[in-house]
Structure 1
Amino acid sequence: MAWTLFAISNTYVYTVSAGVQYVNVPDNRAFHPLQSDTVNIQLEAAGWQLLVARLKPAVQSIQVDLSGLERRHWIVFTNQLGFINRQFPSNQRVVSVSPDTLYFDFSKQTERKVPVKALYKLDFRRQYNIIDNIRISPEYVTITGPLEDVVQIEQWETDTIRVSDVSSDIRAAAPLKQNQRANINVYPTSVNVEIPVGEVTEKILEVPIKVENAKQFNSVKLFPGKVRLTVMVSLRDFVKVTNNTFEAVVNMEDWIDNGVNSLPVIITQMPDFCRLVKVEPQNVDFFVRK
């Protein structure tokens, strides 16, 4: 026991991995880090703190001051140890960071507009659901940054909208997801989201099946020749949903190329305001006359 108390009271140096967050980014300069956004930090702490760190490792992140990039293209951690130590408890001391130098490549600032995608997790009251397209205002946001980073961004997501017992339209101001890259700016930082909600019901339809890529045959007979579709539709759009608003096909190339015994039914057309619940049958038999 005495040896254990002596051991955990001693001071040790150990290494942890940490992510990098950039702060004080220079204005009007687009930069691209030339190394990983993870560094190794050597911490000096008492033995009991080392024991706790080993038993319950925590994901660390440190802030790095980029104000020095106004004059050069690199940042040296040795010059920022005081700033970094202020981010840790007083009973821990940052000895060094590896790599000690971060390098950056600067390029001309590029601007691009990308669509916004609304994320949501809704718990609907029974017989209620989304009945139309979600409306977002503005639909696009402007992102600026280095060309090589901007071109990789196809859309920007919102924070997840969470609502329970939903039975009416939802209107919310949704913040955009926090930017994970310090060299990318986005404007605006929030959008208005409107989710149309209404009462829905099931509707069952029988749709004839069309045959594609069958010109080399005299005839193709399907068994059965129709497919039974079960869809969810809002009460307001119930009468709009007819057999003619759907299209079901089978592709003979599935048999020609792959020799399948039955053809899968593919729904190639349906209204946006419907949700497909069931397709019966999912595969059909066929008879070919060459």
Structure 2
Amino acid sequence: MPVLNLNKTQRRKLSIFVKCIVFSFLAWALFAVSNKYIYTVKSAVQYVNIPDNRAFHPLQSDTVNVQLEATGWQLLFSTLRSVQPTIQVDLSGLQSRNWVVLTNQLGFINRQFPETQRVMSVSPDTLYFDFSKQTERKVPVKAVYNLQFSKQYDVIDKVNVSPEYVTITGPLEDVVQIEHWETDTIRYADVNSDVHTVINLKQNQRANINVYPTAVEVDIPVGEVTEKILEIPLKAENAKQFSSVKLLPAKVRLTVIVSLRDFVKVTPGAFEAVVNMEDWVENDVRNLPVIITQKPDFCKLVKIEPQNVDFFVRK
């Protein structure tokens, strides 16, 4: 590869030329990011000042396109930001109509952005809503937890939530689809005793659904646990059409996790293991899966051996 041999004067001139190029680029970049640009970002919509006693359905997506005027710096940072921005929309005008015009709320929306950014427009400009009669329903609360236990500790009984039910209000067609309401996730590490906490309910994802109360008490009983192995006789269900059914093996081995306090309560009689002969009649399977139809709430099933069994039938 040829080597470019330059004398001292030439190297000095080349160095000055490169520096000029670099300084020119930096000056251009600084000038570019200092200019103002108009760009569009997708924003989630959060409704505020919702009219009382009026249940509504938004008739459009819960995101809008916001056109902003900002500097190149703001444009650069908005491109790097991974979190979708949220704008609040005032619904107080729905007392007398079923739409809101966002052009009329540009001042309110602009106050939600930094002074260096200016909202030019929002698309769609008009949001439409369908109103229906508001209804009320009580649904159970489901405690969501992710606990890291100390060695040989685990949940040993039913998790208690107080209150057990919350009241949800909203349009009938939406309310009837909600079977339960979850809490925020309860997180603790190195747990070796009962957990008692007050936790908020999971944030409402639907603006037309209200939940009361917004927080509950949760008690999670925790204790020392151990494994216990039991042999359970296996039964054949839906086998009346056969004169006899022989299962191989006739028993299954269950491995369960149980607290030390309840160890003696866990007996083979507390469990029921079955196979469903309809699986063979309808699907012509070669072996049948074992199904546990009964077990105590205070123990956790870890393993079934075997999980599938062979069988012989006599018609």
TM-score (norm 1): 0.94
- CA distance 1:31–1:215, shift in 2 (3 Å): closer
What residue in structure 2 maps to residue 231 of structure 1? Answer: 256
- CA distance 1:5–1:114, shift in 2 (3 Å): same
Give the drift of 1:183. Answer: 2.2
**3-state DSSP class of the match of 1:79?**
helix
Match of 1:39 among 46, 49, 64: 64
Give the drift of 1:276. Answer: 0.5
Deviates more, 1:247-256 or 1:108-117: 247-256
CA distance, structure 2, for counterparts of residue 66 and residue 7 of structure 1: 39
- CA distance 1:188–1:95, shift in 2 (3 Å): same
CA distance, structure 1, for counterparts of residue 153 and residue 117 of structure 2: 54
- CA distance 1:143–1:86, shift in 2 (3 Å): same
**1:1-290 → structure 2 map (5 Å cutoff):** 1=25, 2-290=27-315
Give the drift of 1:204. Answer: 0.8
Q: Spell out, residue by residue over 1:22-72, the C-alpha distance to the aligned partner (whole angstroms, 9 max, x if none).
A: 112222322221211110011111234323333445411101111222232
CA distance, structure 1, for counterparts of residue 162 and residue 81 of structure 2: 44
Deviates more, 1:114-123 or 1:257-266: 257-266
Give the drift of 1:256. Answer: 2.2
Give the drift of 1:78. Answer: 0.8
The structure carrying a bigger strand percent of its residues is: 1
Give the drift of 1:282. Answer: 1.0
Equivalent AA in structure 1 for residue 76 of structure 2? L
Equivalent AA in structure 1 for residue 62 of structure 2? D
Task: Tell me the matched-pair count.
Answer: 290
**3-state DSSP class of the match of 1:132?**
coil
CA distance, structure 2, for counterparts of residue 140 and residue 232 of structure 1: 29
Equivalent AA in structure 1 for residue 110 of structure 2? N
Give the drift of 1:6. Answer: 4.0
Give the drift of 1:87. Answer: 0.9
**3-state DSSP class of the match of 1:237?**
helix
Q: Spell out, residue by residue over 1:80-103, the C-alpha distance to the aligned partner (whole angstroms, 9 max, x if none).
A: 111111111111111000010111
TM-score (norm 2): 0.87
Equivalent AA in structure 2 for residue 70 of structure 1? Q
Higher-Rg structure is 2
Higher relative contact order (CA 8 A, sep 6+): 1
Equivalent AA in structure 1 for residue 252 of structure 2? V
CA distance, structure 2, for counterparts of residue 104 and residue 177 of structure 1: 25
Give the drift of 1:9. Answer: 3.2
Equivalent AA in structure 2 for residue 148 of structure 1? E
Gaps of 5+ in 2: 1-24
CA distance, structure 2, for counterparts of residue 118 and residue 255 of structure 1: 39
CA distance, structure 2, for counterparts of residue 176 and residue 145 of structure 1: 17
Q: Spell out, residue by residue over 1:83-135, the C-alpha distance to the aligned partner (whole angstroms, 9 max, x if none).
A: 11111111111100001011122222211111111111111111111111111
**3-state DSSP class of the match of 1:27?**
coil
CA distance, structure 2, for counterparts of residue 165 and residue 56 of structure 1: 35
Give the drift of 1:219. Answer: 2.0
CA distance, structure 2, for counterparts of residue 263 and residue 183 of structure 1: 48
CA distance, structure 1, for counterparts of residue 91 and residue 173 of structure 2: 20
The structure carrying a bigger helix percent of its residues is: 2
Give the drift of 1:173. Answer: 1.3
* Structure 1 vs Structure 2 CA RMSD: 1.7
Q: Spell out, residue by residue over 1:241-262, the C-alpha distance to the aligned partner (whole angstroms, 9 max, x if none).
A: 1111111111222222222222
CA distance, structure 2, for counterparts of residue 150 and residue 220 of structure 1: 48
